[in-house]
Chain A
């Protein structure tokens, strides 16, 4: 390390003539430092990722409750999940409903506000900060607590509706609306995709718009013919990231439903169901099978979106 480590330079400097030694030395000096720097990551990668993935795959074919050693049950977990588990079906339905409504709406808000802000508005940094703040705070338990109150029977939302003489229901405890409160919470956090859209909009060359307006193209046409096509890589990126995040969403549903997914399982997110199986009932084998199904869904979705992307995502080369 320090320059006065005199002995060190003496021991490493002289060139050994023995061929075997120099092969090792060459191998070491070519690869050693790289692998040494990666050592912590390697330990984590194998110990906390690869190993657990393999063992979770194995566990998904077993009956395992932490106390006794895993007992091999073959495909029994998967058979039960796909044929005799109404809660699985319900949690799938809830999760897909959440993904299908929250992601497009969130992206639409993000893009809409980004377009408004991109007109060279005065006060852009202030607006951007205001819209970004919820997505920075939104994942916290505190916000879920707040949401629980806002949409309660005597909450702020109903106070507001009462101004117009509307008697709102208790949104949180009504199974028709409870999931929508979570979707609204997700849309409220449109700030970070908005920032990515803003960065993408700034990449679009202005002379394209100038040429288009000289040719008499309306703003509307310019949006559909220039802005949107050139923005498709950003749309694609945001859509993939937000969808995966939506699949993994856990905390708001847990806090708002008190960990139950109620009323009548209307907010039973897939992650919440998996948590209940694993850490409520200690059915670790069954929960592992659920985890692998989630992995399959996320992998299929990702593969599907990358495969279809070449038909609608415009990359200029």
Chain B
């Protein structure tokens, strides 16, 4: 809208020279952007193409493999002592549980902050925002000791349970912002009709908040899927490894001899995130633009 208005006024006073300058400028801009796009995408495309090449050709330059081969995928999938299938399954289990935890626990807290009246609300809200800035290293060691004493180390629990305790304050913040945008009349009307807060949360707020819940779910998935530090610390048994740990072990043990398998599994590990990017790009970009997420 606004850009159209802008262009209109420019057109009315445009002389031949300014028109030339504008066209020339836009050609230059497109050229720059296309070059930048190629540079940005080249590493990804290169890895994709390397994963389809026969072993002896992996390091040949050029993007197009002379013949397509899925060998690297089969070799990589067999993985180390444990198949990559197990790693993928583990990553999926942890990610799905994390989504459930984050969406449920964070929306509960966000509903309280956005809609319920209680003493100390502002104080606790400020506390919650304060945890956003906290470097995780500060809580890392006592948390590890705690989970060790609970006997949770070497299980998925330390990675999943915190999510059910709304430990990702970022999503609370995101949801509070969204809930505040929902007209208050809706829940006031429901309150008049004698709805309990729980019913308002469950029957009024959540159904109206699907976009923000979806955004939270998608980002939780991507962050959990990519998480390396948590699994690195808490998972020691290879049968419980996530994809990220599997890749790391692959790098350390066999990389020099089997780059193909490593690249193939790397590509495969990016596929779920890429699919989310493909199908939910608008949600992701809006989520970032409105709240300024870190990535």
Which A residues are within 8 Å of any B CB, using their own CB?
1, 30-35, 37-41, 43-45, 47-49, 51-53, 55-56, 59, 66, 113, 116-117, 119-121, 123, 127-143, 145-150, 154, 156, 159-160, 188-189, 191-192, 195-196, 198-199, 202, 205-206, 209-210, 213, 237-238, 241-242, 244-245, 247-248, 250-251, 254-255, 258, 271, 274, 278-279, 284, 287-288, 290-292, 294-295, 298-299, 302
Contact = CB atoms under 8 A, between A and B. Distances in A.
Contacts of A52: 138-143, 146
B135 A298 contact: yes
Interface string B49-67: 0000000000101000000
B37 A127 contact: yes
A268 to B, nearest CB: 15
A130 B295 contact: no
Given A52-B143, A66-B148, A238-B292, A45 B131 contact: yes
Given A59-B142, A140-B269, A188-B40, A245 B162 contact: no
Nearest to A149: B259
B146 A119 contact: no
B32 interface: yes
Contact of A192 (B30, B47, B294): B294
B254 interface: no
A34 B128 contact: no
Contacts of A140: 225-226, 244, 269-270, 273
Contacts of B88: none
Of A137, A202, A241, A274, which is in contact with the most chain B CB atoms at under 10 Å from its CB? A137
A62 to B, nearest CB: 11
A49 B262 CA distance: 37
Contact of A136 (B251, B262, B295): B295
Contact of A251 (B118, B197, B229, B270): B229
Specify which of B5, B9, B135, B281 lies most central, judged by the most chain A CB atoms within 10 Å of its CB: B135
A121 B6 contact: no
A37 B201 contact: yes
Interface of B: 2-3, 5-7, 9-10, 25-26, 29-30, 32-33, 36-37, 40-44, 46-47, 59, 61, 105, 108-109, 111-113, 116-119, 121, 124, 127-128, 131, 133-146, 148, 162, 164-167, 172, 196-199, 201, 222, 225-226, 228-229, 232-233, 243-244, 247-248, 251-252, 259, 262-263, 265-267, 269-270, 273-274, 277, 281, 284-285, 288-290, 292-295
A92 B225 CA distance: 30
Contacts of A130: 37, 40-41
B112 A37 contact: yes
Contacts of B6: 120, 206, 209-210
Q: Which 3 pairs, one residue from A and one from B, show the smallest C-beta to C-beta distance? A: A44-B165, A34-B118, A142-B266
Contact of B7 (A120, A131, A145, A290): A120
A44 B163 CA distance: 9
A258 to B, nearest CB: 6
A141 B295 contact: no
Contact of A287 (B37, B141, B148): B141
A219 to B, nearest CB: 9
Given A1-B199, A142-B270, 20 more contacts: A1-B198, A31-B118, A34-B117, A37-B201, A41-B165, A56-B139, A119-B26, A131-B36, A138-B295, A156-B43, A196-B289, A199-B290, A205-B2, A241-B294, A244-B133, A247-B135, A278-B140, A291-B135, A292-B138, A302-B133
A34 B121 contact: yes
Contacts of B109: 37-38, 40-41
14 contacts: A56-B138, A66-B148, A119-B29, A121-B26, A130-B41, A145-B263, A147-B43, A188-B43, A210-B6, A245-B294, A248-B135, A250-B228, A255-B228, A284-B141
B244 to A, nearest CB: 4
A139 B135 CA distance: 17
B127 A120 contact: no
A295 B141 contact: no
Contacts of A191: 295
Contacts of B41: 130, 133
A63 to B, nearest CB: 13
A295 B138 contact: yes
Contacts of B3: 120, 206
B46 A156 contact: yes
B36 to A, nearest CB: 7
A133 B277 contact: yes
Given A41-B165, A141-B247, A192 B288 contact: yes
Contacts of B199: 1
A48 B251 contact: no
Contacts of B294: 192, 241-242, 245
A255 B251 contact: yes
Contacts of A205: 2
B274 A156 contact: no
A141 B248 contact: yes
Interface centre among B233, B243, B294 (most CB of A within 10 A): B294
